Amino acid sequence: MAIKPVDNETFYREVDEELRRDQLKTTWERFGKWIIAAVVLFLAGIAAFLYWQHRQEEQAGKTGEEMTAILDEMTAGKTKGVEPRLDAVAKNGGPGYRAAALLTKADLAIGQGNIPAAVAGFKQVAEDEDVPAPYRELALIRQTAAEYDSLQPAVVIQRLQPLAVAGNPWFGSAGEMVALAYLKQQKNADAARIFAAMAKDQSIPASIRSRSVQMAGALGVDAVQQSATKEAAQ
């Protein structure tokens, strides 16, 4: 007696389910232990990562507390023995703490009159690609300021020109050094242009703006009048 179509479909479905059960059983018998091992390793990996993350956070907290303590002591004039501690922070901390420790150590060297050590410290931060850009830019400005008198004007301009533009957070510090470098090269028009731009930039510290107005005026640019005209237009 022939199997009806509906019975055919039922038969095929049952066979298919049986085959899949057999395949699953065979797969488990052959690879069950490996699957369990993989799951265990995966869970162990997650646990290890969470532990590592906890340790990193714990270490970061200790490093932050140590850096704060060092700065408090230095503010109080207690600088004896802080250099090894700064070295430890730079070694054990992340990029941010490393930069802060090295910059602090370089500033300490300047206070001690050790300009070469200061320059080396600033340079180390400026060239560290793992350090956030603001730290690197600050280090480059401090390095250039520390060795400014020994640098050729072209070197100063090449280093700081990207930062000596309106809108850049370091426009005041970088712009002043670049403008003075232009003056050494007798490029008065370029120097006047930067001084005038700084005189009009309200985001720049008042002391730098005041000097910029005076320098621009000495170079034949009435930065005060330009600033007043700009404010009136706005």
pLDDT score at 62? 72
Joined tokens for residue 144: 């250039």
pLDDT score at 95? 83
pLDDT score at 98? 85
pLDDT in tens, 131-186: 889 889 999 999 999 999 999 999 999 999 999 999 899 999 999 999 999 999 99
Contact 209, 175 (CB under 8 A): no
Q: For residues 151 and 18, which has the higher predicted lDDT (pLDDT)?
A: 151
CA–CA distance from 122 to each of 72, 96, 99 (Å)? Answer: 22, 14, 9
CA–CA distance from 13 to each of 7, 8, 19, 20, 138 (Å)? Answer: 10, 9, 10, 11, 73
SS3 (DSSP) at 161 = coil
Residue 231 — pLDDT band, cuts 50, 70, 90?
Answer: very low
Which residues, 6+ apart, have CB-to-CB distance to 105 below 8 Å?
Answer: 83, 86, 87, 90, 121
Cα–chain center distance at 150: 28
Task: Out of 36-45, 117-126, 200-209, pick the least confident.
Answer: 36-45
pLDDT score at 187? 94
pLDDT in tens, 113-141: 899 999 999 999 999 998 889 889 999 99
pLDDT score at 222? 77
Q: For residues 58 and 223, which has the higher predicted lDDT (pLDDT)?
A: 223
